[in-house]
Structure 1
C-alpha cells in the first residue's frame, strides 16, 4: 500500500516541471508568430523597415519576470503582483540620502551644464533647477543603470499583459525611434516598464517631446546630457509651465483652516489664503506677483506633516509623474540646488502601520457614504485625504485628513 501511494505521488509530481516548460515553449512560439504576423505589418505601416524590425527583435524572447503578465489561455484573474502592499508613510519619500544626494549632485551638474541649462531655460521658461531635479530623480543624473532591452520589455507586455493595447502602441513607437536613428547603435535600454533613457520617457512621449539639444540631428536621451536637459525642459514647457510662477511654498496652516480645503478644485489667490491666516514657513512674505495668483492647499500627510500652497506649475510637474510626492520632491530638491534651502519646517509624523488593502477598505467605506475618494486604490491622494477630513468633521471628530487603523475599523464595517 505504501509503495502504491509513493508511486501515485511521484506520478502526480514529476510531470509538473516539464509541463510548465512545455507551456512556456508553446507561448514563446505564439509570441514569435505574433511578432511576424501582427506587429511587423503594423510597424511597416508606421514606416519601419524590415531590417530595423529584424535587428530590434534579434535574440529577443519573452521576459517572464515582468509583473502583471497574462499568458494566452490563462483566465487573467490571477491576483495582481503588488510590489508594495504596505501603505507607505509620505515621509519615507524624503529620506535623507535621496534628498541630500540629489541636491548635492544637482549643484555639481548645475555648474557643469550651466550653458545648456541657461539656453534651455531661456527657450522654455523652465528653471534649470527644476530640470535638474527631475533628471536626478529619474536616473541619478544618468548614473543609474538602465538595464532592460526595450523590445523585450514592450514585446512581452504588448503580447501578454493586462494593458496589452497600451504597450503594443509603445512598442510600435519604440520601433519608429530605432528607425529614425535616435538611439545608440547598441540595444535600446529601458526600465522594466519600457521608459527610455535618462529622462525616462515612454516611447510615445519620446516621439512627441524628445529634443536634440546638442545639434547633432538626434535626440539621444541615453548618452547626451544636452539632449536630456532640453527634452525635460521641452516636456514641461509643452505641458504648460508658467515662467512667471514658482512651483509652490511651504506654509504654516492655523488650526482655524480645515485640512479638508485641500485640492486644486478649491484653489484661490494666495492673498485670500493669507487672509485666512496662512503664512510662509520661512517667515518671508510671499512675492508680490505671487499673491495675486491662484494656488491650492496641499497637505500630503494631512495635519501630520508639512503643508504647502502650490501653483499651477505643481500640476505641470505631475504631468511627468502623477504622484503628489514626486512633484513635491522635485520642487524641494530644485530649491535646495539653487537656493540652498534646508529641510521642511514641518515634520513628518508617525503613520499607522497599514496595508494598502486597509486603506482601500476605508476608501470603500467613504464611497458608501457619498464621498469622492478618487477610487479605492489603497493610496491616499488629495481626494481621499480631504474626504477623510470632511467625514471626521461631519462626525464630530478632529480633522486629520489622513488614514489610520482606528478609522479603518469604523469605516470598513
Structure 2
C-alpha cells in the first residue's frame, strides 16, 4: 500500500512538473494552452455584454442585431497586432523576414498586368456606367477600375473572415482598440439599418468589406446606390461598387479635370529632398529648374500654372514623378506612396496601353523593417522629421535621409540602404 502510494505520488509529481514546464514553454512561445484560452473567451464575452453592448444600445442598436452579430463569435488570436489582456504591446528587436523589399517588386508585370488587362475588358463592358460616374463625380473610369482591380481582383477575391469576429477581436485586444471599436459599432449600425444582413458581413483580416474594401465607417459615409434599387450594395452591384469608389475619392478632394501626374526626369541639381506634398511648386517653376516630362512632351499651358509635387519613391534609385493633388487623394484610399503610384500607373495603362516606366528601379530594399525603424529613430534624435519610426520609408524619411547626406558631404540618394543603417547606428 505504502509502496503504491509513494509511487503514485512520485508519478503525480513528475506529471505536475511536466505540465508546469509545458505551460512555461507555451507562455514563452506565445502558445495558448487550453487552460489559458477559456479565460480569454470569457473575458471577451464579458466585454461584449458589459462594455460594448451598452454603447451599441445607446447608439440605437437593437439586442436582436447585437446578438445575431456575435452569436458563436470568439476572439481570433491569429489576427495580427493583438495584445493579450493585461499585457503591453511588444516590438521584436529584429524581424527575420525582409518586410520591405525593392519598390520595383510592387510593379512586377505578374501583379500589374492582371489589373490592367482586367480593367480594359471591364471598361468596355461597363462603358455606360463609367461614363455616368465620370460625369457625376469627375473621376476618370480608369482610376476607378484600377482601384477595383487592385483591391479585390474586380470582385473575384473572396473574403474569408467574419467581419464581427475580426472587428470584435480587434476592438477588444488590438493595438488600435479605439479605431476598431468605432468600426465594429459602424458595422452594427450597417446591419441595424438593413443595409446588409449579418451573413453577408464577410471581410478581410483587417475588417474591410465588399469589393471596394471599405471599412464600415467608410461604407456609411461613401457607399452609393447607383443602380437605383434602393440600397448601396458593394458586394454584388457593379454600378454601386464603381460609384462608391468615385464618391470616396470626391469626398477626399478629387479635382475634376486634373490627372494624377506624370513621370519626369529630375536633373542632379534638383535635390531629392524637395519631395513631398508640403513642398509644392508651380509646374512652370519645376520646368525652370530643369525638370521635364519623361515622354518628351511639353506640359500643357493650364498645367504650367498649377501646383505640382516631386515624388521619388525610391529616391535616386528609381523613377521620378511630378504629381498633382489627386495623387494624394489616392493615398487616402491607402497611405502608401507605392499603392497610389500603382493605381495611377495601372490607370494609365488601362487608358493607353501597357507601357512601363521610362526610369529604371535600382537594386534597393531588402532591409528589415526594424533596421529602417532604427535608422528613423537615429534621424529623429538628430532633429529630423521622419513622420513615424514605423520601418517604412515614406517621403518624410526619404527626404530626411537626403538632407542628412548632403549636410555630411555625401551624395543624396534619399533612400535607406544597409551601409546607411550601419553609419547611423
Q: Is TM > 0.5 for Structure 1 vs Structure 2?
A: yes
Residue 84 of structure 1 deviates from its aligned partner by 6.0
| Mapped pair 1:357 → 2:362 | no
**Stretches of structure 2 lacking an aligned partner (at least 5 in a row):** 1-8, 27-31
Cα 1:260/1:12, change in 2 over 3 Å: same
Aligned with residue 14 of structure 1, among 5, 9, 19: 19
Deviations 1:80-123 (A, max 9, x none): 69796532211111111111110000011111111111111111
Deviations 1:361-412 (A, max 9, x none): 2222222222211122211111111111111111111111111111111111
Stretch moving more, 211-220 or 180-189: 180-189
> 2: distance between equivalents of 1:83 and 1:115?
50
Aligned with residue 88 of structure 2, among 60, 76, 81: 76
Cα 1:6/1:375, change in 2 over 3 Å: farther
Stretch moving more, 55-64 or 237-246: 55-64
- Residue in structure 1 matched with residue 3 of structure 2 by the alignment: none
Residue 271 of structure 1 deviates from its aligned partner by 0.8
The answer (yes or no) to whether the contact 2:98–2:367 under 8 Å persists in 1 is no
> 1: distance between equivalents of 2:237 and 2:207?
19
Cα 1:69/1:285, change in 2 over 3 Å: same
SS in 2 for 1:284: coil
Deviations 1:293-326 (A, max 9, x none): 1001000001100100000111111111111001
Deviations 1:334-374 (A, max 9, x none): 01111215010111110153211211222222222222111
- Residue in structure 1 matched with residue 154 of structure 2 by the alignment: 141
SS in 1 for 2:303: helix
The answer (yes or no) to whether the contact 1:103–1:133 under 8 Å persists in 2 is yes
SS in 2 for 1:375: coil
Stretch moving more, 4-13 or 334-343: 4-13
> 2: distance between equivalents of 1:330 and 1:199?
13
> 2: distance between equivalents of 1:135 and 1:13?
54
- Residue in structure 2 matched with residue 374 of structure 1 by the alignment: 387
> 2: distance between equivalents of 1:345 and 1:10?
68
Question: What's the TM-score once normalised by structure 2's chain length?
Answer: 0.91
Cα 1:8/1:357, change in 2 over 3 Å: farther
Cα 1:173/1:324, change in 2 over 3 Å: same
- Residue in structure 2 matched with residue 325 of structure 1 by the alignment: 338
- Residue in structure 2 matched with residue 40 of structure 1 by the alignment: 53
- Residue in structure 2 matched with residue 261 of structure 1 by the alignment: 274
Cα 1:83/1:327, change in 2 over 3 Å: farther
> 1: distance between equivalents of 2:365 and 2:354?
30
- Residue in structure 2 matched with residue 206 of structure 1 by the alignment: 219
Deviations 1:130-189 (A, max 9, x none): 111111111111011111110111111111112112111111100011112222563411
1:3-402 alignment runs, 5 A limit: 10-14=15-19, 16=22, 20-73=33-86, 75-79=87-91, 86-184=99-197, 186-351=199-364, 353-402=366-415
SS in 1 for 2:335: coil
- Residue in structure 1 matched with residue 419 of structure 2 by the alignment: 406
Question: What's the TM-score once normalised by structure 1's chain length?
Answer: 0.94
- Residue in structure 1 matched with residue 4 of structure 2 by the alignment: none
Stretch moving more, 393-402 or 363-372: 363-372
Stretch moving more, 285-294 or 81-90: 81-90
> 2: distance between equivalents of 1:185 and 1:395?
59
Stretch moving more, 31-40 or 103-112: 31-40
> 2: distance between equivalents of 1:84 and 1:167?
27
RMSD: 2.2
The answer (yes or no) to whether the contact 2:151–2:213 under 8 Å persists in 1 is yes
SS in 1 for 2:332: helix
> 2: distance between equivalents of 1:131 and 1:240?
15
> 1: distance between equivalents of 2:90 and 2:381?
27
> 2: distance between equivalents of 1:105 and 1:237?
24
Residue 9 of structure 1 deviates from its aligned partner by 5.8
The answer (yes or no) to whether the contact 1:184–1:222 under 8 Å persists in 2 is no
